[in-house]
Amino acid sequence: MTDPAVDPIHQFQIYDIFTLGEVGGVKFAMTNSAMFMIAIVVLISAFLILSTSGRGLVPTRWQSAAELMYELVASTLRNSAGTEGMRFFPFVFSIFAFVLTANVLGLVPYFMTVTSHLVITAALALLVIFTVIVYGLMRNGLGFFKLFLPSGLPVAIAPFIAIIEVLSFLSRPVSLSLRLFGNMLAGHIVLKVFAGFIVTLTAAGVGGWFAGVLPLGMTVALTALETLVAVLQAYVFTILTCVYLNDAIHPSH
Amino acid sequence: MDAEAAKLIGAGIACIGMAGAGIGVGTIFGNYLTGALRNPSAAASQFTNALVGAALAEGLGIFSLVVAFLLMFVV
């Protein structure tokens, strides 16, 4: 293996912090990924509980931040899924808060980005899709399948459209999970590659120290871009969740 | 050809697919800005739609990037 200082993949490694034992051949261990997920939940809970505990009519700065986050998710959900979609508000807000905190926390050097692992994003995407399917069937019964057959379609092309709609529905969890995973993975690899240039250049001698300023500046600029991407991807994940939930509530489009 | 070299060439070729995502996202935001400058009062309500479209277009580019990663680190 290459030097961990310049190896861009090393940062995604999952290792055990301590092992709890084995149950039926499956190892139960506290990994760094699990530790960061617990840290994320603790951070979100602490932020929301502490900032809103005052319940002031005139909000403090922290309370404004929490209300801003609430309003952002609430307006997104209300605009795309209607008032009835608001029953999913706790679910959507949890997803937004978790993904946002995971993405932003991952930007801190030496911290792990849990959303850069496909298993995490796939679990979130499957949770969303199964919620859509289960709630869609519960609320609309067989009417849910109108989702795959838009009304007012000529009979001749209806089967083909239905096949395309089913395929597009099935590709949703794939694209939802891969988008978040790919963005986070690619961003952190690019950051690490440019940071690796600095290490390689400074090792080359005094001339390299001056040349190393260029990739350093690039790393700083990329960190700014990655902060934007981290917030944007959390928002995109939330919007798409709302759009998919809207399909479950109003299947006949 | 060496299998390792073929993998790296394949990963490079797979990344060309991201150009399509670049064109797509550029088209979406370009057209959004064109519309927004013509009718600024309607811009705010359509920003979400622009983001959804950009996310869908970008997702397809990410697929080719994931293929490149698979070739480099998994296969």
Closest to B62 (Cβ–Cβ): which among A9, A183, A240? A183
pLDDT at position A11 is 81
Closest to B52 (Cβ–Cβ): which among A182, A185, A240? A240
Q: Write out chain B residues lying below 8 Å of A186, CB-based.
A: 62, 65
Q: Give the phi and the psi of residue A58 in degrees, each rounded to 5.
A: -100, 105
Whether residue B63 and residue A175 make contact (CB cut-off 8 A), yes or no, is: yes
Q: What is the span of the domain harbouring residue B53?
A: 3-74
- Chain B residue with minimal CA distance to A168? B56
Is A197 among the domain residues?
A: yes
pLDDT at position A4 is 60
Whether residue A182 and residue B48 make contact (CB cut-off 8 A), yes or no, is: no
Is A5 among the domain residues?
A: no
Higher local confidence (pLDDT), A24 or B4 = B4
Min mean pLDDT across A3-7, A93-97, A149-153 is at A3-7
DSSP symbol at B16:
T
pLDDT at position A3 is 62
Kindly report, residue by residue over A187-230, the tens digit of the pLDDT: 898 898 888 888 888 888 888 888 888 999 999 999 999 999 99
Kindly report, residue by residue over A159-183, the tens digit of the pLDDT: 888 899 899 899 899 999 999 999 9
In this structure, are residues A146 and A251 in contact, taking their beta carbons and an 8 Å threshold? yes
Q: Write out chain A residues lying below 8 Å of B52, CB-based.
A: 236, 239-240, 243
From the CB of residue A175, how many other CB atoms can be counted at a distance below 10 Å? 20
Six token digits for residue B61: 């580019």
Residues 6+ apart with CB under 8 A from B44: none
Q: Is pLDDT above 70 for A253?
A: no
In this structure, are residues A99 and A215 in contact, taking their beta carbons and an 8 Å threshold? no
Whether residue A239 and residue B51 make contact (CB cut-off 8 A), yes or no, is: yes
CATH number of domain containing B54:
1.20.20.10
- Total tally of structural domains belonging to chain B: 1
- Chain B residue with minimal CA distance to A177? B59
Top mean pLDDT of A23-32, A180-189, B24-33 is at: B24-33
Whether residue A240 and residue B51 make contact (CB cut-off 8 A), yes or no, is: no
Whether residue A236 and residue B48 make contact (CB cut-off 8 A), yes or no, is: no
A113: left (phi over 0), alpha (psi -120 to 50) or beta: beta
Q: Write out chain B residues lying below 8 Å of A240, CB-based.
A: 52, 55
Q: Is pLDDT above 90 for A124?
A: yes
- Total tally of structural domains belonging to chain A: 1
Q: What is the span of the domain harbouring residue A139?
A: 10-53+60-249
Is A101 among the domain residues?
A: yes
pLDDT confidence band for A70 (50 / 70 / 90): very high
Q: Is pLDDT above 80 for A140?
A: yes
- The per-residue pLDDT of chain B, averaged, comes to 89
pLDDT at position A14 is 84
Whether residue A79 and residue B48 make contact (CB cut-off 8 A), yes or no, is: yes
pLDDT at position A1 is 43
